[in-house]
Chains A and B, each alone.
Chain A
C-alpha cells in the first residue's frame, strides 16, 4: 500500500463569524506522517474534516494525489478516518464493523463474500484482534475498540489515513503501547497519515513533521526536533515541551540585561529593540556553584519526579523552571546558581512574538 500526497491550498473555513481555518496551506508527501498540533479551537480538527470531506471549505482547494477532491463526497475520496470516540457500531459484531466499508461498496468493488472475509481476517490478524471477530462491539475494552476502529480504516487499503485524537480516550499505559504500534504500522504500510492531537508528547513521538496551529493558522511546520529546538514563535516554544520553555523578559541597551543574569550578552544583533525575550528550556540548564553560574535566583519549590526533579526558581519577579537529573537537596529559600546551555537559547521579539534566532556566539 502506498499513500497519496495531500495538498491544501489557501483553505479557509468560517463558522458564523468565527474563522476556524485561516488560509491554511499544507503539503504532505506520500507516505508521510504529519501531525496537526494545537490547543482546542485552533482549527486542527476542522482542517482534518475538510480533508475528509465532512466539511466544505469556504475558500481554497483540496488535492489528494494531485486530484482536486474539494467537491467530492467523503466516500469518493478514498480516505479512511479514525474518530476520537472510535465510532464503532454498537449493534454489530466486530467482524461486521470491520467489514462495513467493504459490504457497503461490495457491488462497486466486485467483492464476493469470500473476498470480504479474507480481507477482514487479514487486517484483524495484523492488529491482533482476530480472536474477537465474533464479539459484539459493546463487549470490548477501550483499547480493543480502538484497534477495531483502526482495522476498519485499513481494510479498504486507503490512500490517506486521517485520525482525530484516536488515543485520547485510552488509559495512559495503553496509550503508550498503542502509540508505538501505530507508528510501526504506519511505517510498514506507508499510508499518508494526517493525525490531529493537542498532546505535544504524542506529536513529537509520532510525527515526521508537525504543523503547530493556533487560531486557524499554521504557525510552524517542521520535523519534531526543529519544532522543539528552533521554535519560530513564542506560542510554539511554550506549547511544546513539558514543562514549556522559560521566557524571560530582558532589557536591551548596550548589552542585554536579564534579571538574575550575571553575564552580559552582546546586544549588537538586537538593534532597534528596547526589550527582548530570552527563551531557554528547563532541561538546558544545570545547577552549579556560584562561580560557574550564569543565572542567580532563589529556590521557590522543588517538584520531585522520580529520576528527575523540576526546580521552580524565582528570579526577581519571574518564575522559571529547571529540569535536571542531578540529585540535590534544596529547600525553598536557598540561593541557587544555574549554567545555561547558550547553544539552545532562543531570542524573541516581544512585540511580534517571533523568533529572532539563536545566540550563536557563546560568551565566556
Chain B
C-alpha cells in the first residue's frame, strides 16, 4: 500500500532480501488465485513484528486482508482466522526472531494440529529493526550489539526443528531466487496442512551474506546453497533428515507428508460425531 500512501513511511534497506520474498508471495498468491479462481480477498496475510512483518503493508496490486498484530504471535492469529473460515487462504509472514525466538512455542501446537496455513519465515540471522542484535539463527561466536564478546549459543537449525516438531510441509528457499520461491510458496499453500517455507533473506545492513548464498567468483567464494536433488523423495522423512545432514543450504521441498489431514477436516469429522444440543435441550439438563 506504500505507493498509494505517502503517510506510511517504513522502508526496507536497499538490497534487503525481503523485497524478493514480497515479489515471490505476490506471484505465488496470483498463481493460486488463477488456478483456483479465487479473489484476492480470499487471502489473509498475518504479519509478525520486525522488518519481515512490514511486508503486509508493501504488497503491490490487489490487496489481500492483513493483520499486523503482535511480536511472535502470527501462528495463533492464523489459527483463529483459519478455523473461523477454513475457505480462507491464510499466509503468515514472519522472521527468524519473530518465529523462532519469541514465537517458537507456537510451532509445535500448529504442527500437531496440522493447521492448514502457510508460514513464510524470512531468515536474515539478525534482529534488523532493532539494529543488529543476535537471533536464534546467528552463528556461534558472532559479535553483535548484544553479544559483544561473541554469541554463546549454537544457532538453531530451523529446517531440522520443523521436521522434528512434525510440520507436514517443509521447504527452503532463497529471496534472490524469486521464481523458485514463488513455486515453493504456491506448493505450500496447496499442501493440505501446516507448511513452513523457510527463506534465506539477507540483511544488507547488519548481516550481508549474499556472497555466501550466491557465491562470488571475484572474491573466490563458493555458494553454500544447493538445489535439492531431483530424485529426493520428499515423502520420506528419513530422507529429509538425510538431506539436512549435508552442509550448506538446500533449496527446494525438503519434506511433504503424504495423506496429510488438516485440522479443519478433523474438526468437520468431529462435528459429525458430536450431537449438538439445542439451547432448550441444554437448559433441560439443569431442570430441578
A, B: real partners: no
A interface residues (Cβ-Cβ under 8 A, vs B): none
